[in-house]
Amino acid sequence: MTDTDIEKAEIDLFIDAVYHRYGYDFRHYAKASLRRRVRSLLQKTGLHKVSEMIPNLLHDENFFESVVRELSVTVTEMFRDPDFFRAVREKVIPYLRTYPFVKIWHAGCATGEEAYSLAVVLTEEGLYERSTVFATDFNPAALEKAKEGIFSLKAMKDFTANYQQSGGTGSFSDYYHARYGSAIIDNALKQKITFADHNLVTDGVFGEMNLILCRNVMIYFDKILQNRVIRLFYDSLIHKGFFCLGTKETLQFSDIQNRFALIDEKQKIWQKKI
């Protein structure tokens, strides 16, 4: 076996150990991305071989927490891809207005920026008071940061530009308070958001949703897992419910793609039709 083959075998053993010890299943994550993240984790430990991390993983739950942080992706920002949020305002919100109550699932919410962005859109479109947003992730540290809703003032300047490009109708500064060099999301935006632990790989249906967003998450899954998760979303949507993916993601190769109608090809918005 070459050194590369040995490393691949070690990574497989490491990922199996994560699954059997803690129930977190990374076995169907895209191999190239997973390999990079495991290598990064190895470098931070100061060890020399992936297999040397396995005893720490099995016997030290604190080490496992660092594994989850490294293997999950928490890169996000408010109103990321502004044209997407503009499309939601123009093509999804009019449908949602026809319902007395609106249930939304933001899967893979990371540190919460996009969930709060959605709350701003719902507020400005007059839907927030009759909406419930479930924002989920499997990374406990990311969820805690999301619940706090505290971001850097420097980041908020960038977020403001995104907000304006997304079709925002108010003043973005109305949605947070600047204090001690940080920006704290206004409590009014938090009232209808429930941040909760949910693992797309191992957990079940989150039912009867009018809208599901899972953007830039499935690019880290292999085709088998992508299909499984898309079925999960399909089963979690009401008839005519909307499903949104990230710009580099698609339903094109899904075995149930014919059960969705394409609403916006560029912004990756579909509607359940069967």
Which CATH number belongs to the domain containing residue 197 in this structure?
3.40.50.150
Q: How confident is the model at residue 5 (pLDDT cuts 50, 70, 90)?
A: confident
pLDDT at residue 232 above 90?
yes
153-165 helix and 113-124 helix, angle to the nearest 10 degrees: 50
Within a domain: 56: yes
State which of 71, 102, 118 marks the end of a domain.
Answer: 71
State which of 51, 71, 91 marks the end of a domain.
Answer: 71
State which of 16, 42, 71 marks the end of a domain.
Answer: 71
User: Looking at the structure, do residues 9 and 115 belong to the same domain, yes or no?
Assistant: no
CA dihedral 63, 64, 67, 68 (to 10 degrees): -140
Within a domain: 205: yes
User: Looking at the structure, do residues 30 and 93 belong to the same domain, yes or no?
Assistant: no
How far is Cα 85 from Cα 76, in angstroms, rounded to an integer? Answer: 14
User: Looking at the structure, do residues 12 and 58 belong to the same domain, yes or no?
Assistant: yes
Q: Decide the pairing of beta strands 102-107 and 131-137.
A: parallel
User: Looking at the structure, do residues 256 and 185 belong to the same domain, yes or no?
Assistant: yes
Average pLDDT of 140-168? 94
Q: What is the pLDDT of residue 243?
A: 97
Average pLDDT of 43-55? 93
pLDDT at residue 4 above 90?
no
Model confidence pLDDT, tens digit, residues 81-126: 999 999 999 999 999 999 999 999 999 999 999 999 999 999 999 9
pLDDT at residue 36 above 80?
yes
pLDDT > 90 fraction of the chain, expressed in percent and rounded = 77
**HEC per residue, the chain:** CCHHHHHHHHHHHHHHHHHHHHCCCCCCECHHHHHHHHHHHHHHHCCCCHHHHHHHHHHCHHHHHHHHHHHCCCCCCCCCCHHHHHHHHHHHHHHHCCCCCEEEEEECCCCCHHHHHHHHHHHHCCCHHHEEEEEEECCHHHHHHHHHCEEEHHHHHHHHHHHHHCCCCCCHHHHEEEECCEEEECHHHHCCEEEEECCCCCCCCCCCEEEEEECCCHHHECHHHHHHHHHHHHHHEEEEEEEEECCCCCCCCCCCHHHEEEEECCCCEEEECC
pLDDT at residue 73 above 90?
no
pLDDT at residue 260 above 80?
yes
User: Looking at the structure, do residues 88 and 117 belong to the same domain, yes or no?
Assistant: yes
140-148 helix and 61-71 helix, angle to the nearest 10 degrees: 70
Q: What is the pLDDT of residue 114?
A: 96
User: Looking at the structure, do residues 44 and 151 belong to the same domain, yes or no?
Assistant: no
Q: What is the pLDDT of residue 263?
A: 96
- Tell me the pTM: 0.89
Q: How confident is the model at residue 213 (pLDDT cuts 50, 70, 90)?
A: very high
What is the residue range of 20's domain? 3-71
Number of domains forming the structure of the chain: 2
pLDDT at residue 164 above 80?
yes
